């Protein structure tokens, strides 16, 4: 059964969503991200996707106090991304309570550093952020395009033990138009030993079921929840079903 990972994107400590990664197309949904984090926890959700958009733009983590507050006030396993460009930043993120760290830009610009972190902290804690626009990897808060494709980026860390990738199709992000299913199916088949997490475009529960049928292992959902297209009741029912399946 596919794992659902709700997203909280942070700007100035508030829970927001951008459209196609555009900082000028921002909608604020919750002033206090702990409110929505607790709602997810109450639904039985286990993992949370926390994106520090300020950090991505500033090239260093900015919202660590929010991360620490969420990690100490809930039981959610938090995966954190945004501005992790140095060993010190990575250690700060883990010290603030993140269970997993998502690295994108540094994996492109300083691949040896990311390989070292995979070895030092383990592939269960390190996640590759492979964000793509028009077939090319986008970095630095999606503000810069790299001369590399998503398949090439993932392949470059395959022998280093990489086991988790979050792939965001930026053209779909925040558009509620449905995910790029063929892209994710292709990546999962190319890299069967790696968990490819779908991100971008989820518009309904049908999208999640379609990804599940196609063998994807995890999916990040953000705007569809905030806009009421996927309800907290559906998340709670999903969690109950997942718990029952595990017991069986």
Name the CATH superfamily for 3-247.
Answer: Aldolase class I (3.20.20.70)
For residue range 163-196, list pLDDT tens digits in order: 999 999 888 877 788 999 999 999 999 999 999 9
Q: What is the reported pTM?
A: 0.93
- Domain ranges within the chain, ordered by starting residue: 3-247
Write out the H or E segment, with its range, that includes residue 186. Answer: helix 181-190
Give the integer Cα–Cα distance in Å for 48 and 4.
Answer: 9
Percent of the chain with pLDDT over 70: 96
Highest mean pLDDT among 129-133, 137-141, 144-148, 194-198: 194-198
3-class DSSP assignment, residue 47? strand
- Catalytic site residue from 9, 52, 54, 207: 9
DSSP track, 111-175: HHHHHHHHHHH-TTTEEEEEEEETTEEEETTTTEE-S--HHHHHHHTGGGT--EEEEEETTTTTS
- Residue 131 bears catalytic tag: yes
The catalytically annotated residue of 131, 169, 173, 207 is 131
């Amino acid at each position: 059964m596919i794992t659902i990972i709700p997203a909280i994107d942070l700007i100035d400590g508030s829970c927001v969503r951008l459209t196609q990664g555009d900082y000028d197309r921002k909608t604020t949904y919750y002033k206090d991200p702990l409110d929505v984090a607790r709602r997810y926890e109450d639904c039985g959700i286990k993992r949370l996707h926390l994106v520090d958009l300020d950090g991505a733009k500033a090239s260093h983590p900015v919202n660590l106090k929010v991360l620490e507050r969420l990690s100490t006030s809930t039981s959610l396993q938090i995966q954190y991304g945004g501005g992790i460009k140095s060993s010190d930043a990575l250690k700060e993120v883990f010290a603030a309570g993140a269970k997993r760290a998502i690295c994108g830009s540094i994996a492109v610009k300083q691949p040896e550093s990311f390989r070292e972190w995979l070895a030092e902290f383990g592939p269960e804690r390190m996640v590759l952020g492979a964000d793509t626009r028009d077939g090319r990897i986008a970095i630095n808060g999606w503000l810069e395009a790299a001369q590399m494709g998503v398949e090439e980026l993932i392949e470059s860390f395959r022998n280093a033990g990489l086991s988790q990738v979050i792939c965001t199709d930026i053209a779909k992000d925040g558009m509620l138009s449905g995910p790029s299913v063929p892209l994710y199916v292709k990546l999962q088949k190319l890299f069967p030993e790696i968990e490819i997490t779908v991100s971008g475009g989820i518009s309904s529960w049908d999208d999640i079921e379609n990804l599940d049928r196609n063998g994807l292992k995890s999916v990040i959902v953000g705007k569809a929840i905030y806009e009421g297209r996927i309800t907290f009741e559906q998340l709670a029912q999903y969690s109950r079903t997942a718990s029952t399946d595990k017991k069986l």
